[in-house]
Structure 1
């Protein structure tokens, strides 16, 4: 009896679409499923320098283990391939890892981790307290922050603490007031920047500076990005356009922060920080402080929780 797996309806439909496209492109003389592998290898080398191994890329993209080995190192005694399928190659070239994509043991640039710790210090959260909340030794935590690279596990721990504590007073969480105040004074003397000075899209970028409105070089699709995005057009927002859309939605739309964050593919904490940063800047500039003009209904409580 045959043990060959039968395709389901969705797989058969997908295969039929692929076969139809294949036949059409071949008939037009346009069938070319491969692309040069060298740009893909160069991108993988760049990702490796960031701390993302080839196996991590394969896992993040949902590829089979060693799917990229033929293009990077060769297989079965043969040299590395000079071609790679366009589908896989384009997926690799479009991939840029987020912090959560890195394996725990991966070594990543420490800039963002250090900036987050310094920003929390301006609020009053000392490195000793942060180390304890992260379940790490105080001395080891302090030492690692001076290194040019840290483990992805440590970077994630610090990012989690940053999201939890950026707007929390240490005194409200059991930290002695004199300790928190001393930490704030030391941070001020050291010239650290607080959470509102950092854009969440840029805090991990070593070339970014605090409290800057300078645009970063990102892929865009034409002009008037914010307006076109708000009108429903599918465009890629650069940093300035994303900020403009965020401010418009927070001031004029009847959307809770969660939905604003979802539309912009940001975290709720990042949206809240950007909104608070803009209000603080308006106060400092002597302008009218923006506020949420539209009525935003409260999120319904969980039925079980309400009943309890």
Structure 2
């Protein structure tokens, strides 16, 4: 029986696959490792390209309120295939610094317009800003966090529609700040008290209230009963039954145990509120 001769000393195969530990094989392996690492840092290693442009593009999309999970869903790939460009995805999995040209091109082709609607109902945006004010965040100081001019925040709670990008930015700010005490993040005690006082006077629900109704905060048909007395709640229910459900005023009054005059007064206040 004949045996195949071993590879020469100093070759990668002799050291790596045949276990030779002589100095010549160690030197040959170290030389190969240096060449291999240099190729990885260059532009010719297995056809991979620098991932930094991809990372910067993803950071811009995140600044617009678009998560890497949403981008991955749009591309039809696993979230880690996108998130890994921005940060480490676990122990022993450092941030990705190189990728294939094809994968880079797919991610770079994604734009905010692909994932954000042009305009959306502003109910959720308005309620999240009001809830932050209710725990002491002044509207003007929310501007830089949301990414709009400080004087524009007050306008956001008056609009019926807003841009998809702004809605996402407000949602992200809400998630970051809803459980934080403003005074611990540089907001003066006077400003906190002023914001809370205004919110209390206008009956703006707090984040704790909305935590009980997670689906209600974005629902324009959901009427928060925060701070309402029982007569006020019945009046709001009467308005909903007549204006949304189409129940006759007389029937609404009978169901709720109200007089016809009380239902008419509630409807009149609702009309005045809308006009204002």
TM-score range with shorter-chain normalisation? 0.3 to 0.5
Name the one with the larger helix percent.
2
Larger radius of gyration: 2
Q: TM-score, normalised by structure 1?
A: 0.35
The TM-score, its normalising length taken from structure 2, stands at 0.39
